[in-house]
Chain A
Amino acid sequence: EVQLVESGGGLIQPGGSLRLSCAASGFTVSSNYMNWVRQAPGKGLEWVLLVYGDHITNFADSVQGRFTISRDNSRNTLYLQMNSLRAEDTAVYFCASGERWLSNWGQGTLVTVSS
């Protein structure tokens, strides 16, 4: 059974950094398309990025240059490094697998950017 578990969210001041984790089981992160999607409180879904292996990463304009992605194959875990955080980055962040459709989702982790 495929399972994704996000962690690392919390309260952070504007301009700060945070690293989210997405731990996978039941499949191999490094050989699958992975996404991050976020949802601001009471709002809709916003796609953040798509990554596949070491070669393909696409970012939303809203996070380009501030967010980066990395992976620990030994832990089968994807990391989202978020820098220069802004109030508008406040959201629940989900990781999800899939290339053109998002088949499996984690439960999400809440990031709150506030002073």
Chain B
Amino acid sequence: DIQMTQSPSSLSASVGDRVTITCRASQSISTYLNWYQQKPGKAPKLLICAASSLQSGVPSRFSGSGSGTDFTLTISSLQPEDFATYFCQQGYSTPYTFGQGTKLEIK
């Protein structure tokens, strides 16, 4: 199985900050890497697919990059509604696997 390692596991930041979350795969997954945002008690929401493709309706302050084994999610200027948990997921091969999550908290 492909292991996905996210870092950091938690992050404190302020409104307006630029933040970056990283995700590393245990083997090359090309660009089959997706990012989700989850708020407490809610289902995950797809933000970015295929490493860098922003989903319709997702603000442009979110961006993704990377290929092979190393990927990043960047939020250019944090807004209050961005405080949530973020997960990466590889869609290269089943069993699909998720990173352990990054909890983004208000400083």
* Interface size counted on chain A using CB atoms at 8 A: 22
Contact of B46 among A35, A45, A94, A103 (CB under 8 A): A103
Question: Restricting to B72-107, which residues have a CB under 8 Å from any CB of A?
Answer: 87, 89, 91-92, 94-101
Asked if A47 and B95 sit within 8 Å, CB to CB, the answer is yes
Q: What is the size category of the interface that chain B forms with chain A?
A: 20 to 34
Asked if A61 and B44 sit within 8 Å, CB to CB, the answer is no
Interface: B45 (CB within 8 A): yes
Closest chain A residue to B38, Cβ basis: A45
Contact of B91 among A44, A100, A106 (CB under 8 A): A100
Question: Restricting to A56-102, which residues have a CB under 8 Å from any CB of B?
Answer: 58, 60-61, 94, 96, 98-102
- Highest count of chain B CB atoms <10 Å: which of A35, A58, A61, A101: A101
Given A58-B94, A60-B95, residue A44 in contact with residue B46 (CB < 8 A): no
Binding site secondary structure of chain A = loop
Question: What total of A-B pairs shows CB separation below 8 Å?
Answer: 58
- In the bound assembly, the distance between CA atoms of A35 and B91 in angstroms comes to 12
Interface: B34 (CB within 8 A): yes
Contact of A44 among B32, B92, B100 (CB under 8 A): B100
Minimal beta-carbon separation of B21 from chain A (angstroms): 14
Closest chain A residue to B49, Cβ basis: A101
Contact residues in A for B92 (Cβ distance below 8 Å): 100
Question: Restricting to B22-56, which residues have a CB under 8 Å from any CB of A?
Answer: 32, 34, 36, 42-46, 49-50, 55
Q: 18 more A-B contacts (CB under 8 A) besides A101-B89, A101-B91, A107-B43?
A: A37-B44, A44-B87, A44-B101, A45-B89, A47-B94, A50-B96, A61-B95, A98-B46, A100-B50, A100-B91, A101-B34, A102-B36, A102-B44, A102-B89, A103-B49, A103-B55, A105-B45, A108-B43
22 contacts between A and B (CB under 8 A): A37-B44, A44-B87, A44-B99, A45-B89, A45-B101, A46-B98, A47-B89, A47-B94, A47-B96, A61-B95, A94-B44, A98-B46, A100-B32, A100-B34, A100-B49, A102-B44, A102-B46, A102-B89, A103-B46, A105-B43, A105-B45, A107-B42
